[in-house]
Amino acid sequence: MGQITLSSVTKSFGEVHVIPPLDLQINDGEFVVFVGPSGCGKSTLLRLIAGLEDISAGRIDIDGRDATHAPPAERGLAMVFQSYALYPHMTVRKNIAFPLKMAKLPQAEQERKVENAARILNLTSYLNRRPGQLSGGQRQRVAIGRAIVREPAAFLFDEPLSNLDAALRVTMRQEISELHQSLKTTMIYVTHDQVEAMTMADKIVVLNAGRIEQVGAPLELYAHPRNLFVAGFIGSPKMNFISGSEAAKHGAHTIGVRPEHITVGDGPWEGVVGLSEHLGSDSFIKVEVPGMGTINVRAPGEVGVHHGQTIRLAPAGKIHRFDDKGMAL
Ligand code: ADP
Ligand code: MG
């Protein structure tokens, strides 16, 4: 189980309206990512689902039961925070067992569940250490272990990897994806990082100022963003937006072309190379095209261009079209 339905969920802090009425369906077993810029209301929405904040209006159902005013402990959800929130004086074993001890589970059952979680998370040989004797990634795994033993209907993650360095973030994000594949439990994961959203989600919810801009599978959002916000947020490097006469040729107010959908060589656009970054696998090139502005191009690693060179470009993939309200045509 782990089906969560939000109906006209609204949240204000006094005069500050953070979440306007919002509807969302999260299905059992889904990996749902809330993504959006800092301050857009991701954490607030997650905390409303967890019951850590009261909702101002609307309704939350969990597994078909009205949970709108249920206290956090009765919702059957387990939250994992960026800050780990571990007890420094307790061993890993005691940290993981903590919710089971609170629930007064028999000792033998506590031990069985802790050992099982430790095995899943590769923490078995660390059970007698304290958090201070662990790396950041291991501490985050302990926090996840403490959530696993509760066997929740859903896991709620709030930017759990933000405190880790880049390489460890990649490893941990794969571990969490694998954990989802083995547990098959609903997971709601909050991040401002669109790469995490793209790589982990079954379903991405793009938030902007508390509103849902679009809900969809990662590649659906990549291929069919419904407005300029989603088009600019999903994908790295960012989609190029071009307006003026070039867009008018396509019957649009603005056109969008992804950097990876532009080829260098022949083509209708001529410009001068500004900064070019050669990563080996790819080259990121900025080209100043008169009347269009700076166009970012993602070219093959071995593309031979240099600063100041005049080159020609061709759009070689989908041209996204938007109207004057920024909505996809
Ligand atoms: P995110 O997690 O997407 O960065 P938050 O949900 O933390 O965003 O915050 C969304 C907005 O709500 C922000 O403008 C923030 O200042 C405001 N906010 C969050 N919590 C409170 C609070 N307790 N009181 C007043 N404003 C808050
Ligand atoms: Mg947040």
Q: What is the pLDDT of residues 48-58, one digit of tens each?
A: 999 999 999 99
Tell whether 268 and 289 lie within a shared domain: yes
Q: What is the pLDDT along the chain (329 residues), one digit of tens a residue?
A: 799 999 999 999 999 999 999 999 999 999 999 999 999 999 999 999 999 999 999 999 999 999 999 999 899 999 988 777 899 999 999 999 999 999 899 999 999 999 999 998 889 999 999 999 998 889 989 999 999 999 999 999 999 888 888 888 898 899 899 999 999 999 999 999 999 999 999 999 999 999 999 999 999 999 999 999 999 999 999 999 999 999 999 999 999 999 999 999 999 999 999 999 999 999 999 999 999 999 999 999 888 899 999 999 999 989 999 999 999 99
Boundary-marking domain end, from 168, 197, 231: 231
Number of domains in the chain: 2
Tell whether 154 and 200 lie within a shared domain: yes
196 CA distance to ligand 2 middle (Å): 15
Tell whether 81 and 225 lie within a shared domain: yes
Nearest-ligand number for the alpha carbon of 42: 1
Residue 18 Cβ < 6 Å to ligand 1: yes
Residues within 5 A (CB) of ion ligand 2:
43
Residue 38 Cβ < 6 Å to ligand 1: yes
* Bridge partner list, 265: 312
- In this structure, the residue with its CA closest to atom 13 of ligand 1 is 39
Residue 87 Cβ < 6 Å to ligand 1: no
Boundary-marking domain end, from 231, 264, 291: 231
For residue 111, what are the CA distances in angstroms to 36, 105, 115, 257, 324?
Answer: 39, 10, 6, 55, 61
C-alpha triplet 35, 38, 43: angle, nearest 5°: 65
Tell whether 188 and 106 lie within a shared domain: yes
Q: What is the tens place of the pLDDT at every residue in 116-170?
A: 999 988 899 999 999 999 988 899 899 999 999 999 999 999 998 888 888 888 9
Domain that holds residue 179: 4-231
Tell whether 89 and 210 lie within a shared domain: yes
Tell whether 149 and 278 lie within a shared domain: no
**Contact (CB, 8 A) for 50 and 72:** yes
Q: What CATH number is associated with residue 96?
A: 3.40.50.300
Task: Tell me, yes or no, whether 328 lies in a domain.
Answer: no
Tell whether 246 and 142 lie within a shared domain: no
Report residue 251 as tokens.
């019957």
Tell whether 17 and 160 lie within a shared domain: yes
